[in-house]
């Protein structure tokens, strides 16, 4: 298991691949109650936040094992429209790490690609408690 | 599908919406995103944390921000949107949150117009939960 408090700048999480299939995306759109017509119909699109959330599931699982982790900020840069059915790969890199008030402060950079092109980039700031305990706002 | 391509003016308000962050909505988001952190779902666990109860996923609040941007900027947001968000305070389950925004700048460019907006999520008492800057080229 990866220890989020111990990873250093340059660490790359294992690459993840997934297909943004209709069932998964429809469940997401229903959950966030976004009425935009482009997310429905015969050729639906995927909301950008859905791409990010679904592509980062591996990180979500990891954060679960680090109670007390705080999600402080999130940046997202969309590069193309993503239709339902698109296969994407996501990469996650530790860009910066510092320690403050009992937390490891991590800046993670994400890159999500379709088969042919960059789909989006993002970065997030996480504060991971150096000692176990507490909750998480992930 | 609907696409709103009218370029706004500086100072325009982005008509927003309010929504109650119920446990059912949080559960549905957890199932759709795969983020089953107990701080969002387990009342007994959450009661023992500094939050005192279950809270919404930060990414659910960002999904509401994305919903606002999709409503006002349609395909521009889905194609080239940039979002920079900070989580200021958690949203306890049961809170009614208000998502709103306004246009901060409109900059003509060679190949379109760059629009920058400030977006926020606040609770019913006006406490800021999320602040974000969004940019789209229209």
Q: B101-127, pLDDT tens digit by residue?
A: 999 999 999 989 999 999 999 999 999
pLDDT number for residue A65 = 76
Mean pLDDT for all residues in chain B = 93
Please name the residue that has the structure tokens 């609770």. B123
Report the percentage of chain A scoring pLDDT > 90.
68
Phi-psi region of B40 (alpha: psi -120 to 50; beta: other; left: phi over 0): alpha
Determine, yes or no, domain membership for B126: yes
Alpha carbon of B11: minimum distance to chain A alpha carbons (Å): 24
Which domains can be identified in chain A, with CATH numbers? 16-129 (3.10.129.10)
pLDDT number for residue B2 = 44
pLDDT tens-digit profile of B53-77? 999 999 999 999 999 999 999 999 9
Q: Do A74 and B67 touch (CB under 8 A)?
A: no
With an 8 Å Cβ cutoff, is A138 touching chain B? yes
Residue A20 reports pLDDT greater than 90:
yes
Determine which of A49, A52, A90 to mutate to test the interface with B (most B C-beta atoms within 10 Å): A49
Determine, yes or no, domain membership for B41: no
Contact A67, A132 (CB under 8 A): yes
pLDDT tens-digit profile of A34-70? 999 999 988 999 999 999 999 888 787 777 778 778 8
CATH number of domain containing B89: 3.10.129.10
In order, the DSSP letters of B44-97 are: HHHHTSTT-S-B--HHHHHHHHHHHHHHHHHHHHHHH-EEEEEE-S--BTT-EE
Q: What angle do CA B79, B80, B85 make, to 5 degrees?
A: 120
On chain A, the residues whose CB falls within 8 A of the CB of B36 are: 64
pLDDT number for residue B70 = 96
CA A133 vs. chain centroid, Å, equals: 23
Residue B1 reports pLDDT greater than 60:
no
- The stretch B30-58 carries a mean pLDDT of 92
Domain count for chain B: 1
Q: What angle do CA B54, A52, A71 make, to 5 degrees?
A: 40
Determine, yes or no, domain membership for B33: no
Report the percentage of chain B scoring pLDDT > 70.
96
With an 8 Å Cβ cutoff, is B78 touching chain A? yes
Identify the band that residue B49 occupies on the pLDDT scale cut at 50, 70 and 90.
confident
Within 10 A of B32 (CB to CB), how many other CB atoms are there?
Answer: 22
Q: How many CA within 13 A on the CB side of residue B124? A: 9
pLDDT number for residue B5 = 61
Determine which of B27, B31, B45, B59 to mutate to test the interface with A (most A C-beta atoms within 10 Å): B59
Q: Do A134 and B49 touch (CB under 8 A)?
A: yes
Minimal CA–CA distance to B78: which of A132, A55, A84? Answer: A84
User: For the sheet containing A70-78, what is the strand order?
Assistant: A16-19, A87-100, A103-113, A118-129, A70-78, B82-87, B128-137, B112-123, B96-109, B13-20
- For B43, residues 6+ apart whose C-beta sits below 8 A from its C-beta are B23, B53, B54
Determine which of B27, B39, B77 to mutate to test the interface with A (most A C-beta atoms within 10 Å): B39
Determine, yes or no, domain membership for B104: yes
Determine, yes or no, domain membership for B89: yes
Residue A28 reports pLDDT greater than 90:
yes
Give A118 or B50, the one with higher predicted confidence.
A118
Determine, yes or no, domain membership for B80: yes
Domain extent for B79: 13-21+57-137
Determine, yes or no, domain membership for B75: yes
The phi, psi pair for B20, rounded to 5°, reads -85, 130
With an 8 Å Cβ cutoff, is B19 touching chain A? yes
Within 10 A of A123 (CB to CB), how many other CB atoms are there?
Answer: 19
Please tell me the distance from the alpha carbon of residue A63 to that of residue A57, in angstroms, as a whole number: 10
Contact B39, B23 (CB under 8 A): no
- The stretch A96-115 carries a mean pLDDT of 94
Please tell me the distance from the alpha carbon of residue B50 to that of residue B32, in angstroms, as a whole number: 26
ipTM of the complex, rounded to two decimals:
0.93
């Amino acid at each position: 298991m990866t220890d989020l408090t111990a990873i250093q700048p340059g660490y790359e999480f294992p690459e993840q691949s997934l297909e943004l299939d209709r069932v998964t995306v429809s469940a997401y759109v229903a959950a966030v109650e976004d009425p935009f017509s482009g997310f429905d119909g015969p050729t639906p699109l995927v909301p950008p936040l859905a791409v990010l959330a679904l592509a980062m599931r591996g990180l979500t699982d990891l954060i679960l094992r680090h109670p007390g982790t705080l999600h402080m900020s999130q940046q997202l840069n969309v590069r193309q429209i993503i239709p339902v059915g698109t296969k994407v790969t996501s990469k996650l890199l530790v860009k910066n790490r510092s320690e403050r008030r009992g937390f490891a402060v991590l800046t993670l950079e994400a890159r999500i690609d379709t088969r042919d092109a960059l789909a989006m980039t993002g970065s997030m700031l996480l504060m991971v408690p150096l000692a176990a305990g507490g909750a998480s706002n992930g | 599908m609907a696409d709103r391509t009218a370029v706004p003016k500086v100072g325009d308000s982005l008509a927003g919406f309010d929504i109650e962050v119920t446990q059912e909505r949080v559960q549905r988001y957890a199932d759709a995103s795969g983020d089953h952190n107990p701080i969002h779902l387990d009342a007994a666990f959450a009661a023992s944390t500094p939050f005192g109860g279950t809270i919404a996923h930060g990414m659910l609040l960002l999904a509401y921000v994305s919903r606002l941007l999709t409503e006002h900027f349609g395909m521009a947001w889905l194609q080239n949107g940039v979002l920079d968000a900070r989580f200021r305070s958690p949203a306890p389950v049961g809170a009614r949150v208000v998502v709103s925004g306004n246009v901060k700048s409109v900059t003509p460019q060679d190949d379109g117009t760059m629009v920058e907006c400030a977006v926020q999520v606040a609770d019913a008492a006006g406490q800021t939960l999320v602040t974000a800057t969004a940019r789209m080229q229209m």
